[in-house]
């Protein structure tokens, strides 16, 4: 299929969804400009043969009846890649009655279902129906897995670990993914940076548990390739919750806060960064050896 045929399928599905979920409380399109660009491209008023760079993103909000609760709020967040429906849409799901791990498992099972039964066809409605049919099972697991209260023990709290993850992706273009990376790092108290483009690089550092939570969220998004290229772990002074632990975390950080770093973007789509500038950036932060781990060459 061509980009135009993919775009036609995307627009047709959005129009169908809009008719089925007519209110903002049911369907919220977060970027009307992206939708307008998609429509212009399909209708031929756009002046380029390339698909529009902005990708449609929307939320479908459902109140589902379950046996354990009267009404359960479920939100599906969906973004169309340019090649959808030849590739799966980027769908994430939020439900207050599921833990983060259970939401991740639900998302994994949903993607497996769509990959097996819907690849090559528009599938957002199929995703909504699958969630309706399977949500109760995951809620039941959530309730049965709820820990029973334990008496407080006088034993010492476990020692914390500081971690630094160096993540490599084939590319990072999608605006929603870039926004998620920034928001999740801030939410979890992580410092570091992300470099969009091709390749994409993300570094996060902070408490081991926060880094693992960040990775568990990022890795289940739709990627061509993503992996942890290198990790660093350091035991911290003091125990969990101590003031000494906070001081030890800050002393281990190589970055202040979290930022999206751009290094003289160039190329036809402005998606390649100046690797020399990246090397200088890493060198200033005291971690230039990472450059060779990523690219297999000495920086200069």
Give pLDDT tens digits for 150-165. 555 555 556 688 999 9
What residues does 90 pair with on adjacent strands?
A: 79
Instruction: Grade residue 98 by pLDDT with cuts at 50, 70 and 90.
Output: confident
Q: Does the pLDDT at position 299 exceed 60? A: no
Closest CA to 201 of 140, 277, 144: 277
- Tell me the average pLDDT of the chain: 83
Residue environment code for 56-84, b if the CB has 16+ CB neighbours within 10 A, otherwise e: bbbbbbbebebeeeeebebebbbbbbbeb
Measure the CA angle with vertex 55, ends 49 and 59; round to 5°. Answer: 150
pLDDT (tens digit per residue) in 228-249: 889 898 888 755 455 556 677 8
pLDDT at 259: 92
pLDDT of residue 181: 94
pLDDT band at 70 (very low <50, low <70, confident <90, very high): low
Model confidence at 287: pLDDT above 70: yes
Which band of pLDDT confidence, cut at 50, 70 and 90, is reported for residue 182?
A: very high
* Integer Cα distance of 74 and 96 in angstroms: 8
Q: Alpha-carbon distance 194 to 201, whole Å? A: 6
Give me the mean pLDDT over the 101-107 stretch. 83
Average pLDDT over residues 248-276: 83
The pLDDT-based confidence of 195 (bands split at 50, 70, 90) is very high
Rama region for 272: left / alpha / beta (φ>0; ψ in -120 to 50; rest): beta
Which letter, b or e, does each residue of 152-182 get, where b requires 16 or more Cβ atoms within 10 Å of its Cβ?
eeeeeeeebebbbbbbbbeebbbebbeebbe
Angle, CA of 106, 112 and 113, to the nearest 5°:
90
Over residues 3-28, the pLDDT tens digits come to 899 999 999 999 999 999 999 889 99
Going by pLDDT thresholds of 50, 70 and 90, the confidence category of residue 48 is low
The whole-number pLDDT of residue 294 equals 81
Residue 250 confidence (pLDDT):
82
The answer to whether 59 and 50 have CB atoms below 8 angstroms apart is no
pLDDT at position 100 over 90:
no
The percentage of residues in the chain with a pLDDT greater than 70, rounded to a whole number, is 84
Q: Where are the alpha helices (DSSP H) in the chain?
A: 3-20, 32-43, 100-117, 124-144, 175-187, 208-219, 243-252, 275-284, 289-295
Closest CA relative to residue 254, chosen from 213, 287, 299, 294: 287
Contact between residue 87 and residue 120 where contact means Cβ atoms under 8 Å apart: no
Question: For 41-55, 106-120, 275-289, which range has the lowest pLDDT when averaged over its residues?
Answer: 41-55
Q: Which two tokens stand for residue 17?
A: 């969804």
In this prediction, residue 94 carries a pLDDT of: 83
The terminus-to-terminus CA distance of the chain in angstroms comes to 43
The whole-number pLDDT of residue 221 equals: 86
Is the confidence at residue 270, as pLDDT, over 70?
Answer: no
Length of the chain: 300
Q: What is the dihedral of CA 191, 197, 198, 203, to 10 degrees?
A: 0
**Tokens representing residue 29 in the block:** 């399109």
Structure confidence at residue 234 (pLDDT): 87
Report whether 213 contacts 188 (CB < 8 A). yes
């Amino acid at each position: 299929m061509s980009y135009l045929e993919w775009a036609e399928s995307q627009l047709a599905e959005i129009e169908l969804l809009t008719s089925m979920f007519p209110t903002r409380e049911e369907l919220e399109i977060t970027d009307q400009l992206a939708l307008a660009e998609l429509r212009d491209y399909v209708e031929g008023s756009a002046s380029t043969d390339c698909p529009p760079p902005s990708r449609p993103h929307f939320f479908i909000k459902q109140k589902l009846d379950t046996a354990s609760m009267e009404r359960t709020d479920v939100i599906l967040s969906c973004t169309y890649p340019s090649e959808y429906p030849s590739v799966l849409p980027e769908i994430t799901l939020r439900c207050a009655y599921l833990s983060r791990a259970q939401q991740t498992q639900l998302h994994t099972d949903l993607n497996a279902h769509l990959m097996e039964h819907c690849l090559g066809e528009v599938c957002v409605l199929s995703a909504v129906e699958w969630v309706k049919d399977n949500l109760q099972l995951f809620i039941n697991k959530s309730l049965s897995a709820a820990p029973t209260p334990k008496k407080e023990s006088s034993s010492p709290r476990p020692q914390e670990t500081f971690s630094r993850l160096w993540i490599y992706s084939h590319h990072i273009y999608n605006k929603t993914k870039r926004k998620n990376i920034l928001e999740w790092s801030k939410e979890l108290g992580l410092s570091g940076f992300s470099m969009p483009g091709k390749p994409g690089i993300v570094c996060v550092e902070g408490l081991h548990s926060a880094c693992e939570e960040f990775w568990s969220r990022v890795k289940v998004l739709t990627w061509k390739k993503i992996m942890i290229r290198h990790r660093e772990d350091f035991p911290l002074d003091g125990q969990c919750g101590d003031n000494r632990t906070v001081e030890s975390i800050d002393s281990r950080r190589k970055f202040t806060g979290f930022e999206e770093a751009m290094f003289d973007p160039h190329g036809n789509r402005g998606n390649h960064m100046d690797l020399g500038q990246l090397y200088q950036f890493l060198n200033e932060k005291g971690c230039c050896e990472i450059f060779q781990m990523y690219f297999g060459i000495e920086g200069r």
